[in-house]
Amino acid sequence: MRHIFIVNPHSGPENAAPAIQRAVESLPACEVYVTQGANDATGFVRGICRSTMEELRFYACGGDGTLNEVVNGAAGCAHAAVGCYPCGSGNDFVKYYGGRRAFLDLRGLTEAPCHPVDLIRVNDRYAVNVVNIGFEAKAAARMVNFRRFPLFRGPRSYYPAVISTLIDGMKNAFRVVADGETLCDGKILLCTFANGEYVGGSFRCAPRASVSDGMLEVCMVRPLSRLSFGRLIGLYQRGEHLDSPKMKDVIVYRRARKIEVTAPRECMICLDGEIEAGERFTVECVPAALRFIVPKGAAHTGKGIDMSLEKAI
């Protein structure tokens, strides 16, 4: 069995590659690959998977974007498993399992068991956590620009991105059809298609999500005034939006296997923080499409996590 740590040197507050290289020197059958640029991890992982049939374990060392690239390289390869060493800015997917702490033990990762998880396929790409359209996709695209400033590195970049998107992102035209049912043919604020629970660093967008039930959580928010947005965003952040009476007239919630999304003009769709553009997207759940490495101490409770403890790690 080969253990390959895929390190994004530009993810997180500092280059984690030297520290990871030192840490894995004492672990058997481990090697480190430092990515050279966007999508390099996908090509590297895919190439390794095609070159051998030996058992492979890839560990994405970075944020959700790094994990997304590794997942896209390993998807469909039965002899490959994917893990995560969360040293990036967001690391939302591991929040499903209680947060980062259990995933920061490198030896524990190499010894941990694998569990089958679903993936989200969007046309010919995959996501493991959450896919967004509308307001959140626009905000995610703008996060990249804000992360260039030291004050807004990490999850803090989400807040100025949201504020700037309040100017032009409140109404977005889409047609959304979930398992044959038309949920919208007009303006919405946003819509999420979720496998995991969290997005944007601290927003519990899909509190009822399961990564292994063969279904996606579809949550659409109708257009809101900016004043209402400010009053209700706290409910969305805490994952209380599906049950709150204050949200009942603006939320459309379904569970679905396949969703067709069309827009009148080119728009953005966000896959685990990675941005794609187009006018038509097929979003579907691919059951048990990936073996994900879950270390000892990582567990899904369905109750969310204490964000203050997560930020303190």
Q: Do 51 and 132 lie in a common domain?
A: no
- 173 domain residue, yes or no: yes
The predicted structure's pLDDT at residue 156: 67
Q: How many H helices and E strands in the chain?
A: 8, 14
- Residues 66 and 142 both lie in one domain: no
Q: Are residues 63 and 210 in the same domain?
A: no
Residue 260 lies in a domain: yes
The CATH number of residue 199's host domain is 2.60.200.40
Are residues 275 and 160 part of one domain?
yes
Q: Is 118 contained in some domain?
A: no
Say what the pLDDT of residue 150 is. 61
In a shared domain, residues 105 and 251: no
Same domain, 210 and 275: yes
The two tokens of residue 85 are: 């060493």
In a domain, 27, yes or no: yes
Cβ of 282: how many Cβ atoms within 10 Å? 12
| Domain limits for position 41 | 2-113+294-312
Residue 101 lies in a domain: yes
Residues present in the chain in total: 313
The three-class DSSP label of residue 226 is helix
Residues 169 and 187 in one domain: yes
- Looking at the fold, whether 233 and 142 belong to one and the same domain comes out as yes
Say if residue 66 is in the same domain as residue 194: no
Supply 306's token pair.
């204490």
Q: Quick one: pLDDT at residue 155?
A: 62
Q: How many domains does the chain have?
A: 2
Q: Give the rounded distance of the alpha carbon of 307 from its chain centre.
A: 17
Tell me, what's the pLDDT at 260? 98
212 and 271 share one domain: yes
| Bridge partners for 174 per DSSP | 186
- The answer as to whether 162 is a domain residue is yes
- Specify whether 45 is located in the same domain as 157: no
Domain CATH for 38:
3.40.50.10330
Q: Do 35 and 66 fall within a single domain?
A: yes
Per-residue pLDDT at 14 = 82
Indicate left, alpha or beta for 214 from its phi (over 0: left) and psi (-120 to 50: alpha).
left
Q: Are 266 and 98 in contact (CB under 8 A)?
A: no
119 domain residue, yes or no: no
Please, what are the averages of pLDDT over each run of 10 residues along the chain (313 residues)?
95 87 92 94 97 97 96 97 93 96 95 98 97 94 72 68 88 98 97 96 94 98 95 95 96 98 96 95 98 97 90 81
Please indicate, yes or no, if residue 120 is contained in any of the structural domains: no
Note the pLDDT of residue 253.
Answer: 98
